[in-house]
């Protein structure tokens, strides 16, 4: 993938073997007016959801807002300069897997106010879509997506002469909604986290005792989930109050394991549940219905250190 501003080649970048061009439109960038510059890498990842086989979002570009008023607009184009989209399966980006949207892009240094991911996600159109476990496919609709995209209102800094690396974490467990009575379009109301690659760590471990002590063994691929909470919050399901910061599905690869990546360093409250598949935020937020009871076991406090993976194994029942 190449990066061009207007018709002048500035830099060449490769993103996961895709031959694409990245065009900067609008407010300029990369210090073309003589301003100091820095470099940005921007990737996306996902905290998984249990009720789908694939969650495809069609991206068309990225927009950034500098605090000095400069707006920088990048659109994806192919090798001939024609507009091109990128369909990315967010469910493939779990457990620390990422996909680059921008790599080694030169920008004006300083503070930025927000990032907008530009998407195609129209109602009734299979551009962005979700594939459910029953093999049905549904349009994935982002309200006002064509105008506002997926906006992350969090500031960040591009250091002068340095490099900033950030990952945007989609939490699909909190973001995908199927309102009652809507059989065609699922709604994506994104819950996004911007994580600084210089200050994040990870959490991983195993879960033992599932088969004998909990009704968690119906699905051979997804066996419960680990929820991560702020220590100031109580343990709760996804309902808009004391929600988890993120979560990770437990996988069965002969042993039951989980990985939660891109956690800023600090202390967290973690719990295991078998009931993640019935933790339906849409039922809590969009209708008068409630989802089923979500029971947690194994609550503990863990400390995440930047650049390291903290290990914690859940033993069910708790010894």
Residue 284 pLDDT greater than 80, yes or no: no
Q: Which of 248, 239, 250 is nearest to 216 (CA)?
A: 250
* C-alpha–C-alpha distance, residues 84 and 215, integer Å: 46
- Over the stretch 44-102, which tens digit does the pLDDT of each residue have? 998 777 778 899 999 999 999 999 999 999 898 888 888 899 999 998 998 889 999 99
Give how far the C-alpha of residue 152 lies from the chain's centroid of Cα atoms, to the nearest Å.
11
Whole-number pLDDT of residue 281:
55
- Cβ atoms of residues 185 and 138 within 8 Å: yes
- Cβ atoms of residues 291 and 50 within 8 Å: no
Domains of the chain (ranges plus CATH)? 2-196 (no CATH), 200-315 (2.60.40.10)
Name the range with the highest mean pLDDT among 31-35, 246-250, 283-287: 246-250
Q: Say how many Å lie between the first and final Cα of the chain, rounded.
A: 52
- Over the stretch 130-169, which tens digit does the pLDDT of each residue have? 998 889 899 988 886 656 778 888 899 999 999 999 999 9
- Over the stretch 189-213, which tens digit does the pLDDT of each residue have? 877 899 999 899 999 999 987 665 5
Whole-number pLDDT of residue 214:
57
Residue 24 pLDDT greater than 70, yes or no: no
């Amino acid at each position: 993938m190449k990066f061009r501003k207007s018709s002048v080649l500035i830099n060449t970048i490769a993103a996961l073997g895709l031959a694409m061009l990245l065009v900067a439109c609008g407010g300029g960038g990369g210090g073309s007016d003589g301003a100091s510059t820095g470099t940005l890498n921007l990737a996306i990842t996902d905290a998984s959801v249990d009720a789908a086989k694939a969650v495809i979002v069609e991206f068309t570009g990225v927009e950034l807002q500098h605090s000095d008023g400069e707006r920088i607009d990048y659109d994806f184009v192919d090798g001939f300069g024609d507009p091109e989209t990128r369909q990315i399966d967010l469910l493939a980006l779990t457990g620390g897997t990422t996909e680059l949207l921008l790599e080694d892009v030169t920008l004006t240094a300083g503070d930025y106010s927000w990032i907008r991911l530009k998407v195609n996600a129209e109602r009734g159109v299979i551009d962005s879509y979700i594939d459910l476990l029953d093999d049905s496919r549904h349009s994935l609709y982002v309200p006002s997506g064509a105008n506002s995209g997926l906006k992350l209102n969090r500031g960040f800094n591009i250091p002068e002469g340095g490099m900033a690396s950030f990952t945007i974490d989609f939490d699909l467990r909190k973001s995908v909604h199927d309102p009652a009575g809507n059989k065609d379009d699922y709604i994506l109301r994104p819950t996004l986290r911007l994580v600084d690659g210089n200050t994040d760590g990870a959490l991983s471990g195993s879960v033992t005792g599932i088969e004998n002590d909990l009704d968690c063994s119906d699905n051979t691929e997804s066996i419960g989930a680990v929820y991560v909470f702020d220590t100031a919050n109580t343990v709760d399901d996804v309902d808009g109050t004391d929600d988890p910061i993120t979560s990770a599905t437990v996988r069965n690869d002969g042993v039951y394991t989980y990985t939660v990546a891109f956690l800023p360093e600090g202390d967290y409250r973690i719990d295991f549940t078998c009931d993640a598949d019935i933790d339906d935020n849409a039922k809590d937020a969009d209708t008068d219905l409630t989802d089923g009871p979500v029971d947690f076991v194994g609550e503990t406090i863990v400390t995440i250190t930047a650049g390291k993976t903290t290990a914690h194994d859940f033993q069910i029942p708790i010894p």
